[in-house]
Amino acid sequence: MSLKLTGAVFGLVAMLAVSNSGFAMGDAAAGEQKAQMCVACHGVAGDNTNPQFPVLAGQVPGYIENQLQAFKVGTRENAIMMGQSVGLSDQDMADIDAYYSAQSATPKSISADQVETAMLGEKVYRGGYRPFSIAACMSCHGPAGHGIPPRFPKVSGQHAAYLEQQLLAFKRGSRVNDVMNPIAFKLSEAQIRELSLYMSALK
């Protein structure tokens, strides 16, 4: 690596460190131990098959830590997850985040009779919905649904039922987020179903 490039990389790391201030550096090995109590619901290595519980494997670094903070203080309301996060320190959350973000999720597929529905979702995901000025989902969640760290979550490989439930929660205001509330508010329940199927099957 040239000296100039090394300098640029250090500059970038310093910038990220500043923008992430308040967040601890995570240790994935420590995180694996601390995540043992999550296995019952989120599965081994965060790759579960029960659509009631979100897949955590392969989530963008930073997002899980951020959501655990939100559950703990109650800005994201969920009784189960408040109970799970209340005893976690900032360091625990950073370690757990480092562990799960380094795992990979089993890709999801859809059945032949769902393809048409998913294709309706694809249009909005990739192109937005002009009549209501809804931005293309891929501008934040990525063309293949891989998300953008640390704030924009990965949506590919996630259970469609979970994605649908979260979009409905954003729409109804029971999950609060400045970015997602106005978007989901304008989506119909049919569009939410179509988008959820499509995102889940993205690879």
Residues lying near ligand HEC in the complex (CB under 6 A): 35, 37-38, 40-42, 53-54, 56, 64, 67-68, 78, 80-81, 84, 96, 124, 134-135, 137, 139-141, 151-153, 155, 163, 166-167, 177, 179-180, 183, 195
Nearest CA among 111, 115, 137 for reference residue 192: 137
Q: Minimum CB separation from ligand HEC for residue 89, in Å?
A: 12
Minimum Å gap between C-beta 115 and ligand HEC is 18
Radius of gyration of the chain (CA): 18
Nearer of residues 6 and 104 to ligand HEC, judged by Cβ: 104
User: What span, in angstroms and rounded, lies between the C-alpha atoms of 194 and 115?
Assistant: 10
Q: Which of 67, 65, 56, 202 is nearest to 138 (CA)?
A: 202
Q: How far is the CB of 22 from ligand HEC (least distance, A)?
A: 16
Closest to ligand HEC by CB, 6 or 31: 31
Q: Residue 94 or residue 195: which is nearer to ligand HEC going by CB?
A: 195
Alpha carbon distance 94, 41 (integer Å): 20
Q: How far is the CB of 112 from ligand HEC (least distance, A)?
A: 23
Q: How far apart are CA 165 and CA 171, in angstroms?
A: 10
178, with CB counted inside 10 A (0-12, 13-18, 19+), is exposed
Shortest spacing between CB 67 and ligand HEC, in angstroms: 4
Q: Which of 19, 111, 16, 101 is nearest to 61 (CA)?
A: 101
